[in-house]
Amino acid sequence: MRAIIQRVSSASVTVDNEVVSRISKGLMVLVGIGTDDSPADAATIINKILNLRVFNDPADDVKMWKSSVKDIDGDILCVSQFTLLGNTTKGNKPDFHKAMPSEASRVFYSSFLESLGKAYKPDKIKDGKFGAMMSVSLCNEGPVTFTIDSRKFEYVDQPSSGTSTPKGKSKGANTPKGKGAVTPRTAEGANEVGLKSEGPDAGAKVETNSG
C-alpha cells in the first residue's frame, strides 16, 4: 500500500464541474492499494498519516516538524489513486497488474477511510469520488511531500518472477563484509518516510482517475 502525503493550506476535488470535497489546512493524501494488501498495511499507512510531524509548532511557528495533523486539528482529504502501484521498469507503458482490482479496491478503500476516521475524527476525513475522473486542486505548503510505503517499496518495483542470479554467482556473493559493511535495513521502522520533491506546484491541478 502506498500513500503520497502533501502538506496543504487548501485542497479540493471536482467531479463533472462540481466540487465534491474541500479542506483547509491539513493533508492531501493519494492512496494506492496493492493486490495483496491487508488490514495491517492499512494500519501502517493510517498511523503515518495521523502521526507524521509535518507541521510547525502552533505555539512557535519557527519550530519546524513539531506537529502532526492531529496536533493542529487539521483536515485530511484522501483520493484513491491506483496509478501509485504502476510499474514502469519495462518499456514506456505503465503496468498496473499489482494494483488491486476495482471492486475489491473499493471495499478496501472504504474500510480504510472508516478506520482513519475512527482513529482521528470522522468529520475531519474527506474523500473524492471513487472511480470517477477527478480534478484535484491543492496548494502545497513548502512544498512538502512524503511518500509512504507499507512494504518498503519492495512489492511493486521488483519483477514479478523474481530477480535472476548471474551465472556462476550465488545470491549475496557481492554482499560487503568486514568493518563498515552496509547491510539492508530489516528492522522495524525501516519503512520510514522518504522526502520527495515530486507533486504539483502550489495551486496546480492534477487530473486523476481513481480505482
Which of the residues are catalytic? 83
* 3-state secondary structure (DSSP) of residue 82: helix
Respond yes or no on whether the N-terminal peptide bond of residue 143 is cis (omega within 30° of 0). Answer: yes
Tell me the torsion sign for CA atoms 15, 17, 22, 25: positive
> Radius of gyration (Cα) for the chain, nearest Å?
19
C-alpha cell at 11: 485542497
DSSP secondary structure letters along 141-208: EEEEEEEEETTTT-TTTS-TT-PPPPTT--TTTT---STT------STTTT--EE---SPPTT-EEEE
CB-based contact 34:97 (threshold 8 Å)? no
Residues 6+ apart with CB under 8 A from 69: 26, 27, 49, 50, 52, 54, 55, 75, 76, 120
Chain length of the chain = 211
